[in-house]
Amino acid sequence: MSNPEAPLLSEILARPATRRDFITRASALSLAIPGVGAALASCAPNGGTSDSTRAAAATPGAGAAGAAGSQDKMLHHNSDSRLDSTVLKGKHGNGSSATRDATANAEQTAFHRYDPALPPLAKSNRLQLHFHAREAPIRISDDTVVAGWTFEGDIPGPIVHCRVGDTVEFTLTNESDIPHSMDFHAAQIDPKTAFRSIVKNESVSYTFKPKWAGAFMYHCGTAPVLMHIGSGMYGSIVVSPREPLPPAKEFVLVQGEYYLGDAVNGARGFDYQKMLSTVPDIVAFNGRPNQYIKEPIRVKVGDRVRFWVTSVGPQHPCNFHVVGEQFDTVYLGAPPGGAIRGVQTFAVAPGGGMCFELVCDMPGEFPFVNHAFGHGQKGAIGILSVEG
């Protein structure tokens, strides 16, 4: 659905943001991209933040039910969209993620393999999470460090694991000069309050109870969302059903794309204009191209393997396939619902997540890939090593 009257997203985002402009911009974006106007509106310029709203927003466990009653106050608490637009034009880097903090000591940054194992469930039905939005250089391979905008200092952010119906009490604290926010796809909640942007040293808290099982993306939703996801602000929350699935070795794969600009202080910035081209330099599982070629995911003959696969994009699906294997089960809906059998490849949409299962009945090295092989070639590939 296109609207010939609607200005280009890039033009809208590049305009200076007076309050009137902002409202015009948000309305225009609602036309251009449904929902984006609302997301932008959550970042409306304001005349200051009252101490009472700041304190309320910073109280861990303060649920959305409490927050929803004070929408007007919350709008005043929101970030300044002029700051958002300076991400693209001005002091925050001309459409590059390469800020001072994102590049500091880049060359000393060590590589680490991102552990794909699904963390165990907590015993309690209540999960308390406190994430920090921070800029940090991340070494994604021997020769490349990127200027990341992160949750908890890594790309992707931490894997979260809970059950359907658990209570997730979430707090985000922003340690960056750039406004950030958190959008959990596993939550059903008023996004205008819960997913609003916060400025440096402020916090936002909300509580949700996942209704459906599955692998769900989480991401920063601050405008322009493309820039924030494209700079590394994403991760996966796996929601297990209350009735356990069959025993399995469980792994989490988050496919993301990198659109790289020039190096600053040894770290490659993420480049907004390149993101708009939708042609990535790198596509990676769990933030590092080819990392599970160098150090495979290891299981044993007879194991059932369950992959919780999320494509965080920002643009492309993950066409998930295991060479030399077939999935005995792919869940189209929330596991255990919507199971289909005997599947070779299935596409996980950007912003989506799915659950794939296979049984390893012979030893060998089985590549798992994005079968859109341009993206496999750019790093979305690994080895499932099955030992006898």
Binding site for Cu ion (CB under 5 A): 180, 220, 222, 228, 233
Residue 148 CB, nearest approach to Cu ion (Å): 11
5-31 burial, b if ≥16 CB within 10 A, otherwise e? eebebeebbeeebeeebbeebbebbbe
Radius of gyration over every alpha carbon of the chain, rounded to an integer in angstroms: 21
Residue 173 CB, nearest approach to Cu ion (Å): 13
- The nearer residue to Cu ion, 90 or 337, going by C-beta atoms, is 90
Which residue's Cβ has the minimum distance to Cu ion?
220
Residue 151 CB, nearest approach to Cu ion (Å): 9
Residue 218 CB, nearest approach to Cu ion (Å): 12
Measured from the Cβ of residue 54, the count of other Cβ atoms closer than 10 Å reads: 17
Residue 360 CB, nearest approach to Cu ion (Å): 39
- The nearer residue to Cu ion, 233 or 309, going by C-beta atoms, is 233
- The token pair at 49 is 């933040």
**How far apart are the C-alpha atoms of 315 and 374, rounded to whole Å?**
14
CA 196 to each of CA 52, 138, 368: distance values in angstroms, whole numbers, following the listed order:
17, 26, 37
- The nearer residue to Cu ion, 79 or 109, going by C-beta atoms, is 79
- The nearer residue to Cu ion, 199 or 309, going by C-beta atoms, is 199
- The nearer residue to Cu ion, 225 or 354, going by C-beta atoms, is 225
List all residues 6 or more positions away from 325 whose beta carbon is below 8 Å from its beta carbon.
358, 360, 366, 384
- The nearer residue to Cu ion, 177 or 328, going by C-beta atoms, is 177
- The nearer residue to Cu ion, 221 or 353, going by C-beta atoms, is 221
Residue by residue, DSSP assigns 245-266 as PSP-EEEEEEEEEE-EEEEETT
Measured from the Cβ of residue 105, the count of other Cβ atoms closer than 10 Å reads: 12
**How far apart are the C-alpha atoms of 93 and 86, rounded to whole Å?**
8
Tokens 């960056």: give the residue.
176
β partners of residue 353: 310
**How far apart are the C-alpha atoms of 324 and 349, rounded to whole Å?**
23
**How far apart are the C-alpha atoms of 345 and 323, rounded to whole Å?**
10
- The nearer residue to Cu ion, 228 or 371, going by C-beta atoms, is 228
Mapping DSSP onto H, E and C, the string for 61-81 reads: CCCHHHHHCCHHHHHHHCCCH
Residue 92 CB, nearest approach to Cu ion (Å): 11
Residue 181 CB, nearest approach to Cu ion (Å): 6
Angle at 23 between CA 17 and CA 29, to 5 degrees: 95
Segment (H or E) for 168: strand 167-174
List all residues 6 or more positions away from 11 whose beta carbon is below 8 Å from its beta carbon.
none
Residue 72 CB, nearest approach to Cu ion (Å): 24
- The nearer residue to Cu ion, 29 or 43, going by C-beta atoms, is 43
Residue 220 CB, nearest approach to Cu ion (Å): 3
